[in-house]
Every structure is written in C-alpha cells, then in structure tokens.
Structure 1
Amino acid sequence: MEEDFDTPVLRPALIDSLFEAFLRIVAAYCLLFGVFYWVRLIGIYPGALWRFDTMPIEWQVASVVLAALFPIAGIGLWMTASWGPVIWFICAATEVVMFQAMSPIFGERQLIVASHILVAVIYAGFRTTLFFQRRQVRD
C-alpha cells in the first residue's frame, strides 16, 4: 500500500500548544490553592485561622467560596474548556480584593496578588496573539 505524502497533516500551531500548556500549569496551581483552602476548612493545620470553627465569619465565607471554586477552575482549565478561565478570574478577583482592597481584614498577600495579575497578563497576551493569528489565517 502506497502512502500519500501530498496529503496535508493538520497540526496545532506552536502558540496553541504553548497556550494549552500554560492553562494546565495554571490548572495545577488552582488545584493546589483549592487544597490549601480545604485544609483550612477541615482543620488539619493548627492555628486560629486554620480551623473553620475558630475563623472569623469573613474568613469562613471566603474559604468556603474559594475551596469550592478553585478546584472547579482547575478542572475547567485542565480541560481547556471555555468556562475554566472565567471561574479562575472569579477566584483571582476574589483573592485580589481580599488581599489588596480588604487587607485590614484578610492581611496582605502581595505575592498572591502579583501572581494573579501576572497570570492574567500572560493569558491576555496568549488570547491576543491567538486572535491575530486566526484573523491572519482567515484573511
């Protein structure tokens, strides 16, 4: 049987592969953040803010919401589903507001805020590049 070498093989562009790898790295971090918040909820780690029953009400609300949403964001990002980045954005915006705008209540965690901003900038760069690349191919 002869092989037809003239048949084009469709392969994803390098930028598509890099974007998928980026989403999966962010997904892994989302799952880690989710585990971090679940550890707080079930009280494995000693300390006043590390047990749900001893947390102030604002920490209880934030921990419950983020413990539920971060794993969902991680799953969506890992599957490269369109809703994954949306859920991640909700989680990131929540933590930025917590640790930046409401720092007297939640404390300052500048590294978390900076990491969310960095991920958002990289994501925007990928999406912009993909948009212009697909527009160029279409034209």
Structure 2
Amino acid sequence: MSEVQPSSREHAPRDPSIGVAAIAPERDDLRENDWTQRLVLFLRVMAVISICKGLYHWAQITGFVGGEDDAFEYQSMAWQTATVYFAVIELVAAIGLWLATPWGAVVWLTTVVSMAVIELMFPAIYGGSLLVVSIEALLLAAYLALAWMAARERPP
C-alpha cells in the first residue's frame, strides 16, 4: 500500500480574509434595527393600554363600572359623547398599533391629543386632570423619540 501524501494545500498558510468572519455579519448589521424593534415593542405596549382604555369606556357605557348615580344615562351630553368617542377610537387605535401600521400610529396620536385637549380645554367633562395630560405628553414624547431614532436607522 502506498502512503497518501498530504496535499500542498494543507500546508499552505490560510488567507485571513477568508473564513467564518468574512461571511458572518458584522456586529453593526445585527444591531441595525434596534430602534425599530424598540418602536414596535412600544407600539404593542400602547396597543394593550389602548385596549384596556377602550374596554373601560365601554364598561362605563354599558354600566359594568360605577354605581347607579354614575350611570351613562345620567351623565351630561358632553361626557356621553366623549366616552363613546374614546370607546370606539381607542379600540381602533389598538388594532393599528398592534399591527404597527402607520394609520394605527395616527389614530393613536389622535386619541392622545384628543384626551389632552378634553382634559385641558373642557375640564367639566372628565375633571381636567393635569396628571392625565402629563402622562399623555410623556407617551407622545416617547413615541416621537423612538420614531425619530428608528427613522435614522433606515437609509434614505
């Protein structure tokens, strides 16, 4: 039997540019969509919150929350109108937010601004809580910051 001679290829030095590192994505490529992922996570959290808010408004309309004195029929027309508006628009926003669609963000932004305006300009409807306005403003600022950072990730 004859011995198998090693080929010259096995003894040649390896080219450092060829290998796993050359075909593996760089660390920057893996982190390319971090802000977009954070934005989608934020939108999903806002979707869950919008569902809760929408269901709460429907519970007010149907009488599942509050006593007989707080019944929907005994409230002012402005309160009834605002409650029905938010009962519908919050759930529509939740769907769009969960799907991370542009229209979902627009509808959600409409709910945020609407609630802030009602609290500030028409305090007789829901009580004019500055805490609610502050929370809505904080959520709006968080959305704008995340959207800005996500937009910067994507090339034009």
Q: Which of the five TM-score ranges fits, normalised by the shorter chain?
A: 0.7 to 0.9
How many percent of aligned residue pairs carry the same amino acid? 24
1:58-137 pair list within 5 angstroms:
58-134=78-154, 137=155
Match of 2:54 among 16, 31, 34: 34
* Structure 1 pair 33–50 and aligned structure 2 pair: CA distance change class (3 A): farther
Larger CA deviation: 17-26 vs 109-118 = 109-118
Aligned partner of 2:4 in structure 1 is none
Q: TM-score, normalised by structure 1?
A: 0.84
Letter matched to residue 29 of structure 1: I
* CA distance in 1: counterparts of 2:124 and 2:80, whole angstroms: 16
Q: Which runs of 5+ in 1 are unaligned?
A: none
Letter matched to residue 41 of structure 1: I
Q: What displacement does 1:7 show?
A: 7.3
Larger CA deviation: 98-107 vs 36-45 = 98-107
* CA distance in 1: counterparts of 2:68 and 2:113, whole angstroms: 25
Contact preservation (8 Å) 1:39, 1:50: no
* CA distance in 1: counterparts of 2:69 and 2:57, whole angstroms: 11
* CA distance in 2: counterparts of 1:15 and 1:68, whole angstroms: 30
Q: Which runs of 5+ in 2 are unaligned?
A: 1-19
Which is bigger in relative contact order (C-alpha 8 A, separation at least 6)? Answer: 2
Deviant stretches of 4+, over 4 Å: none
Q: What displacement does 1:112 show?
A: 1.9
Q: What displacement does 1:48 show?
A: 5.9
RMSD between superposed Cα atoms in Å: 2.3
* CA distance in 1: counterparts of 2:151 and 2:36, whole angstroms: 11
* CA distance in 2: counterparts of 1:66 and 1:39, whole angstroms: 12
Q: TM-score, normalised by structure 2?
A: 0.75
Match of 2:67 among 47, 50, 64: 47
